[in-house]
A and B are shown apart, each in its own frame.
Chain A
């Protein structure tokens, strides 16, 4: 059964591939009355959240204070964040790892993907299938998102 979206999936594939496979900044300029120009600024960063966000608001991001070894703002997903989109979906092209230098008193419930503009823009958000609770990650541990582990889907657009 088709999704509940309204957008042709071929167009969704093109738009999302353009956004998330680009390694260079580019600007989309609307026509008259279409609002401000929109600049896409890779590389995209993967951020960790102790409270998962929503469609309209960011969650509570982990910090260096409650998750030593992690820095607010996250880490790069690489020059090409995701592979080319097909059927409205794709996965992250590269792994991302943090090494804990102390106990993570904050859990990891969700993730978000932001660009690296001067004022970063949030693009994607979602919950982890199996989150990690508080104080489970300790010094010397590593936390990794494997390549292909983050599924981005615009199939319901």
Chain B
């Protein structure tokens, strides 16, 4: 899951499988956040995008990743 926070208005969205911003990669089976525009629905009505960039500045927080020790050493 990814937590997405609008840096303008503070509205909050949790993005994962089934969210309209997420598509499933047919090759890997992973659910990938691909559609930034689909995150707009989580903004407050009076929230406006940045006048120069046209974007809502977002704060993405990854909430889960699992790593394990590497076999065979590093570089």
Contact = CB atoms under 8 A, between A and B. Distances in A.
Instruction: Tell whether A pairs with B.
Output: yes
Interface of A: 16, 55-56, 58, 107, 109-114, 119-146, 149-154, 156-157
Given A130-B16, A130-B32, A141 B59 contact: yes
A126 B66 CA distance: 6
B63 A146 contact: yes
Nearest to A115: B74
A157 B73 CA distance: 15
Contact of B69 (A16, A110, A119): A16
B30 A131 contact: yes
Contact of B65 (A107, A139, A141, A149): A149
Nearest to B22: A130
Interface residues of B, number: 38
B74 A121 contact: yes
B2 A149 contact: no
A140 B30 contact: no
Given A138-B36, A140-B50, A151 B67 contact: yes
Given A107-B32, A129-B1, A140-B55, A122 B64 contact: no
30 contacts: A55-B72, A56-B71, A107-B32, A120-B75, A122-B75, A123-B70, A123-B74, A126-B65, A126-B68, A127-B66, A128-B62, A130-B16, A130-B31, A132-B2, A133-B34, A136-B33, A136-B34, A136-B36, A138-B36, A141-B55, A142-B60, A143-B60, A144-B61, A149-B63, A150-B65, A151-B66, A152-B66, A152-B68, A152-B69, A153-B66
B59 A142 contact: yes
B57 A141 contact: yes
Counting chain B CB atoms within 10 Å of each CB, which of A109, A134, A140, A150 scores highest? A140
